[in-house]
Amino acid sequence: MKVLVLGGGGREHALAWRLARGASVTRVYVTPGNPGMATVAECIALENYTPEEYLGLAERLGVDVTVVGPEAPLVAGVVDLFRQCGKPIVGPTQAAANLEGSKVFAKELMNEAGIPTARYFIAESEPEALAALARFEYPVVLKADGLAAGKGVIVAKTRNEAMDGITALFSGQFGEAGQTVVIEDFLPGREVSFIVLTDGETVLPLAPTQDHKAVHDNDQGPNTGGMGAFCSDKILTAAETQEVLNRVIYPAVRAMAERGTPFTGFLYAGLMMTDQGIRVLEFNARLGDPECQTLMHRLHSDWGAVLFRAAVGKLAGVSLSWDAAPSVCVVAAAHGYPGPMRIGDAITGVRDAEAGGAVVFQAGTRMNHGVLETAGGRVLGVTASGVDLRAAMNRAYLGMEQIQFDGKHFRRDIGAKGLG
Ligand code: AMP
Ligand code: GLY
């Protein structure tokens, strides 16, 4: 079986790495991919990365199934086009991807389906948002409505911070994202990324993971796309997992089907486990990154076969097997990230890091005259497992010490929350 992966980050590197190890997969292609994947996949560049170009590539290569990594191709309608042409693909349609593309849509769906989430207000203008602040306590959470690469969320600790945040969101600092802003209660608790694979009917839960969104240790500083993650069966009890399925995942999948826009692909529920119970912070229409790196590291199953069954609506009866050992991924970010960052710094130590038993999934990297260098905010993820979480952390951090590039920064507490 030949598989095509769309994307070029750490998530896609991890997908390609796992796919290549499956018995039923003969060939893995990734577009655009990155230099780290060259040993497990063939990377192919396209001109404009449009749905039509992706389809043309899949047909030219004769791939059996395509899997979409990031949200942009989903929102552009790549799944709709592949389906129209009878090409198996894993991901949601444009309409279903709205669950991630619009926080307002997600809130409305949660309301309708009775899915627990934070109390919120939708503001369509700056004056409306400022006036609505009176109904909230601090900290308060402000979210741009559209896609903002995980950075369109501001946790404001004071009224002044909230006012500045509202101005920033409406002035277009997050691109087009800021026409509508969701204001919601801040929920204290334990964050969990709960991701399932679904064909629209059958739901196959992946292992629970925990992301670390803030840039600095102890969750300080601005939010990023994720500075590291861990994956362990201890993140949720069996009863909690069942409750998440019953109260969040099944109602969401049912509500999407009832709307005539069934959700297929990876449904990611960003959860907060609060003293009052489970609350949904957000839905994503794709695998999380870096969560995916820890998931792929722990997964045993023949991933290509599973993805093919998801793409053709035959997930019923499929189960996944996971390594008992927990896994940890620590992200190395470029100078300046998540603000304006510098690229073009030479990277060394990838081989040495892997010699110590970690896997380095590359993300924002490129080859320049034979030199590996930084090319994006999240440069790479060092992923490792161990007999317990502590051992996995030690191995990942050992690998991280080997990696060198100017401006490199990473969190030193990835996984620490799971040790307690
Ligand atoms: P989101 O993109 O909606 O998941 O928000 C990004 C991050 O902001 C989340 O992963 C949380 O760490 C934080 N966050 C979002 N909403 C809330 C909330 N209501 N209460 C506390 N933290 C939140
Ligand atoms: N790591 C969070 C995300 O992928 O949205």
**Tens of pLDDT, residues 365-389:** 999 999 999 999 999 999 999 999 9
Residue 338 CB contacts under 8 Å (≥ 6 apart), including other chains = 151, 215, 222, 223, 224, 225, 377
Q: What pLDDT, on a 0 to 100 scale, did the predictor assign at position 176?
A: 61
Using one digit for the tens of pLDDT, what is the confidence trace for 188-237? 999 999 999 999 999 999 999 999 999 999 999 988 999 999 999 999 99
Strand pairing class (27-32; 42-43):
parallel
DSSP assignments along 148-204, one per residue: -TT--EEEESSHHHHHHHHHHHHTTTTGGGGGSEEEEE---SEEEEEEEEESSS-EE
47 CA distance to ligand 1 middle (Å): 35
Under the banding of pLDDT at 50, 70 and 90, the label for residue 145 is confident
> Is the pLDDT score of 102 beyond 90?
no
Q: What is the mean pLDDT of the chain?
A: 95
> Is the pLDDT score of 239 beyond 70?
yes
* Angstrom distance (rounded) from CA 416 to CA 230: 9
Q: What pLDDT, on a 0 to 100 scale, did the predictor assign at position 33?
A: 98
Contact assessment for residue 69 and residue 97, using Cβ atoms and an 8 Å cutoff: no
Angle between helices 103-113 and 250-258 (to 10 degrees): 100
What token pair was written down for 418? 């799971």
Residue with tokens 């709709």: 80
> Is the pLDDT score of 267 beyond 80?
yes
Q: What pLDDT, on a 0 to 100 scale, did the predictor assign at position 89?
A: 98
337 CA distance to ligand 2 middle (Å): 15
Q: Is 221 left (phi over 0), alpha (psi -120 to 50) or beta?
A: left
> What is the best residue among 211, 283, 329, 361 to mutate for testing ligand 2's pocket, by most ligand atoms within 8 Å of CB?
211
31 CA distance to ligand 1 middle (Å): 30
Q: What pLDDT, on a 0 to 100 scale, did the predictor assign at position 158?
A: 97
Q: What pLDDT, on a 0 to 100 scale, did the predictor assign at position 71?
A: 95
Residue 8 C-beta-side C-alpha neighbours within 13 Å: 17
413 CA distance to ligand 1 middle (Å): 19
Q: Among the atoms of ligand 1, which is closest to the Cα of residue 184?
A: 19
> What is the best residue among 291, 293, 330, 378 to mutate for testing ligand 2's pocket, by most ligand atoms within 8 Å of CB?
291
Per DSSP (E only), the strands in 220-292 are: 220-223, 228-231, 265-274, 277-284
266 CA distance to ligand 2 middle (Å): 12
Provide the residue type at 204 as one letter.
L
Q: What pLDDT, on a 0 to 100 scale, did the predictor assign at position 177?
A: 53
Nearest in space to 386 (alpha carbons), one of 302, 298, 303: 298
Q: What pLDDT, on a 0 to 100 scale, did the predictor assign at position 178?
A: 55
Ligand nearest to the CA of 291: 2
Q: What pLDDT, on a 0 to 100 scale, did the predictor assign at position 144?
A: 86
Contact assessment for residue 205 and residue 168, using Cβ atoms and an 8 Å cutoff: no
CB atoms near residue 324 (< 10 Å): 9
What is the biggest distance separating any 2 CA atoms in the chain, rounded to whole angstroms? 59
22 CA distance to ligand 1 middle (Å): 35
> Is the pLDDT score of 139 beyond 90?
yes
Rounded to two decimals, what is the model's pTM? 0.95
Using one digit for the tens of pLDDT, what is the confidence trace for 282-303? 999 999 999 999 999 999 999 9
Under the banding of pLDDT at 50, 70 and 90, the label for residue 146 is confident
* Angstrom distance (rounded) from CA 229 to CA 215: 13
166 lines ligand 1 (CB under 6 A): no
Would the CA dihedral through 141, 144, 147, 153 be positive or negative?
negative
Using one digit for the tens of pLDDT, what is the confidence trace for 31-64? 999 999 999 999 999 999 999 999 999 999 999 9
> Is the pLDDT score of 150 beyond 60?
no
CA–centroid distance for 415 within its chain: 17
Q: Identify the burial level of 119 via C-beta atoms within 10 angstroms of its C-beta, where 0-12 means exposed, 13-18 middle and 19 or more buried.
A: exposed
Q: What pLDDT, on a 0 to 100 scale, did the predictor assign at position 153?
A: 85
Strand pairing class (378-385; 327-333):
antiparallel
Under the banding of pLDDT at 50, 70 and 90, the label for residue 84 is very high
CA–centroid distance for 354 within its chain: 24
Residue 301 CB contacts under 8 Å (≥ 6 apart), including other chains = 22, 320, 321
Buried b (16+ CB within 10 A) or exposed e, 183-207: bbbebeeebbbbbbbbbbebbbbbb
Q: What pLDDT, on a 0 to 100 scale, did the predictor assign at position 147?
A: 63
* pLDDT, mean of residues 307-311: 98
Interior angle at CA 27, CA 21 and CA 30, nearest 5: 95
Query: Which helix (H) or strand (E) is 122 found in, with range?
Result: strand 120-123
- What's the chain's length in residues? 420
150 lines ligand 2 (CB under 6 A): yes
